[in-house]
Amino acid sequence: MKLYSFFRSSASYRVRIALNLKGIAYEQAPIHLRRGGGEQFGAAYRALNPQALVPTLEDGGKILTQSLAIIEYLEEKQPQPPLLPKDPADKALVRSMAMIVACEVHPIQNLRVLNYVKKEYNQTDEQVNRWAQHWIDLGLSALEEMLAAQQQRGKFCWGAASTLADICLVPQLGNARRYGCDLSRYPNILAVEKNCMALPAFIDAAPEKQPDAE
């Protein structure tokens, strides 16, 4: 498998964690999101991913985009270890935690959104950071409440092994720190992060460990 990704991209980071958890070997094709105006906008890459976003996964000639779709593909192709619980209600809970990050928080603090806010509305870097912080804090506060409400929570967002929820959460925390969010307000989230970051699958997927890291 070949993963088109950028070391600092949290959506790419999600897929790297999932591949590592499942023990699937892959090569990386780095796409630099800033160099030369952004390599994601090059014609060759856009032919693979018309949205001009990373990640893209190539598997035996098949091209897959959107990190959650890619992770669900990996889950179906190689079910062990599972990244989603079996029980439908538990599965919905895990997906809902993942979607807080992937559908509500991440899309509105993404590079292209921040660039648009900055240019179209003449905002300073500080104002743009405040925009990012606002949406990240809104999502993390909800997630923190959901974690606190689970009476029998294990070491992770749900249960005794990492799931799709952790895969989405951990990379988002990197973004949160980059934009100056105060994470001390989220003790349950920080405890989950600590437990995840004790696992090789998460450690090896970290941005600073990637071949294109700066």
Ligand X SMILES: N[C@@H](CCC(=O)N[C@@H](CS)C(=O)NCC(=O)O)C(=O)O
Other beta carbons within 10 Å of 172: 26
Closest distance to ligand X from the beta carbon of 68 (Å): 6
x-or-dash string of contact with ligand X, 49-88, rule CB under 6 A: ----xxx----------xxx--------------------
Of 6-14, 73-81, 134-142, 147-155, the window that binds ligand X (rule: CB under 6 A) is: 6-14
* Position among 4, 10, 84, 201 found at the interface with ligand X (CB under 6 A): 10
CA angle 1, 76, 193 (to 5 degrees): 80
Identity of the residue numbered 167: I
x-or-dash string of contact with ligand X, 107-146, rule CB under 6 A: ---xxx----------------------------------
Tokens of 26: 């892959």
Q: Which is nearer to ligand X, 26 or 155 (CB)?
A: 26
Does residue 9 belong to the site contacting ligand X (CB under 6 A)?
Answer: yes
7 SS3 class: coil
- With beta carbons less than 8 A apart as the criterion, state whether 84 and 162 touch: no
Q: Which is nearer to ligand X, 52 or 142 (CB)?
A: 52
d(C-alpha 25, C-alpha 2), whole Å: 9
The number of CA neighbours under 13 Å toward the Cβ of 38 is 12
**Contacts to ligand X by CB under 6 A:** 9-11, 33, 38, 40, 53-55, 66-68, 102, 110-112
